[in-house]
Amino acid sequence: MTFANEIPLLLLLLVTAAGAILVKDLMSAVLLLGSYSFTLSLVWAWLGAVDVAFVEAVVGAGLATVLFLLTLFGTAPKDTRLRRPPPSLTTLIVFPLLGVLLLYAANDLPGFGDPNSPASVHISPSYLEQSYQDTHTPNVVTSVLMDYRSLDTMVETVVIFTSGIACALLLRRQSK
Amino acid sequence: MIRPHDSIIVQTLGRFLIPVVQIFGLYVLFFGQYGPGGGFVGGVILGTGMILSVLIFGHDASRSQIAKDILHGDGVGMLIYAGVGGLCMIGGGEFLNYSSLSIPGLEEASRRSLGIVLTQIGVAVDVAVTAVSIVFSLSAEEIIEESING
């Protein structure tokens, strides 16, 4: 088993995710989601994706929790307590089937760290070899994001900008 | 509208913590070329520092003034990013091809490195302003109008 050290983390991930769904109080659900993001960032860091772990910790565990909490403070206490109806028969049949289907499809994925997988042989070798000569940037992730794929990143920035504008337009209207 | 927090522990800790958070945000932003980090995370950390000051000291405190002022900068980050792309076109290359930034005395790779730094600053400004702006939208309708109109 290559990932034996991760099993406690993955169990914690499952427990916090299930807790966030099952808990009755929305405030507790938000805090559980925060701890879920933090555990997920530990998993990313363990897998070596430090940049992703960084974003997950800062945005998922920090910023998103604050935004959720601010939204909850704007609601009445009776709105934050949930009464969940029991899941319908369709849900109980379809979702396990979907899970089995995904697990079956995951068999076809290349193994973790496989040097012959398409992701490792297609274009990443040329990035890894030429990135420093091309851009004088030791971090290959940054040079791919901000130089080779700069237009994508610009449109992502447009998305963030648009979300800020949309929030301002929707939420600041009630002011006197 | 968020009022200042009552607890002296929270206030003292915030006074100590916020500058550290801001400096760490700047470090992450400019260290993104050498290690994990970059514009997005750096911007979120900078924005989170300002949100922390709003949450601890309230909207009216002078410590939260930067967070209020930065709301006027909505779109500046976008402008920086697209502006670097435009400068590349003026220099005779494609949009966002940093090697045609017309800066004398720099070799091509260093120009591309400089372009990466500039666009990362653009992303960071954009993300920080958006984070602070969403928090203000969620919490302070009246205050916003006062600070922008009056």
Q: What is the pLDDT of residues B32-87, one digit of tens each?
A: 888 888 889 999 999 999 998 888 888 777 778 888 888 888 889 999 999 999 99
CA–CA distance, A102 with A23 (Å, rounded to integer): 27
The structural domain count of chain A equals 2
Please determine, for residue B92, whether its predicted confidence score (pLDDT) is greater than 90: no
> What's the whole-number average pLDDT of chain B?
85
Instruction: Give domain status of residue A70, yes or no.
Output: yes
* Burial degree of A104 (CB within 10 A; 0-12, 13-18, 19+): exposed
Does the pLDDT at position A3 exceed 80?
A: no
* A63, A131: one domain: no
CB-based contact, B51 to chain A, within 8 Å: yes
Q: Where are the domains of chain B?
A: 8-149
Would residue A4 count as lying in a domain?
Answer: yes
Last residue of a domain, one of A22, A48, A82: A82
Residue window 141-160, chain A: list those with CB within 8 Å of chain B: 141-143, 145-147, 150-151, 153-154, 157-158, 160
**pLDDT score recorded for residue B150:** 44
| Position A103 confidence tier, pLDDT thresholds 50, 70, 90 | very high
Query: How large is the average pLDDT for residues A59-85?
Result: 81
For residues A22 and A76, membership in a common domain is answered with yes
- Distance between CA A18 and CA A75 in Å, rounded? 24
Please indicate, yes or no, if residue A106 is contained in any of the structural domains.
no
* Enclosing domain of residue A61: 1-82
CB-based contact, A166 to chain B, within 8 Å: no
Give pLDDT tens digits for A132-170: 888 888 888 888 888 888 999 999 999 999 998 998 888
- In this prediction, residue A119 carries a pLDDT of 81
User: Do the domain assignments include residue A137?
Assistant: yes
B88 Cβ under 8 Å from any chain A Cβ: no
Same domain, A61 and A11: yes
Specify if A105 maps to a domain. no
Closest chain A residue by Cα to residue B21? A58
Judge whether A22 lies within some domain.
yes
The interface predicted TM-score of the complex, written ipTM, equals: 0.83
Q: Are residues A10 and A63 in the same domain?
A: yes
Residue A99 lies in a domain: no
Task: Provide the strand spans (E) within A27-77.
Answer: none
Q: Does the CB of B82 have a partner CB in chain A at under 8 Å?
A: yes
Q: Quick one: average pLDDT of A41-53?
A: 89
Residue B94 has pLDDT above 80, yes or no: yes
pLDDT recorded at residue A173: 62
Domain assignment present for A176:
yes
Contact A153 B98 (CB under 8 A): no
Residue A1 pLDDT grade (very low, low, confident, very high; cuts 50, 70, 90): very low
Q: How far apart are CA A24 and CA B68, in angstroms?
A: 36
> CB–CB of B58/B64 below 8 Å?
yes
Do A6 and A69 reside in the same domain of the chain?
yes
Q: Does B119 touch chain A (CB under 8 A)?
A: yes
Give residue A176's pLDDT.
44
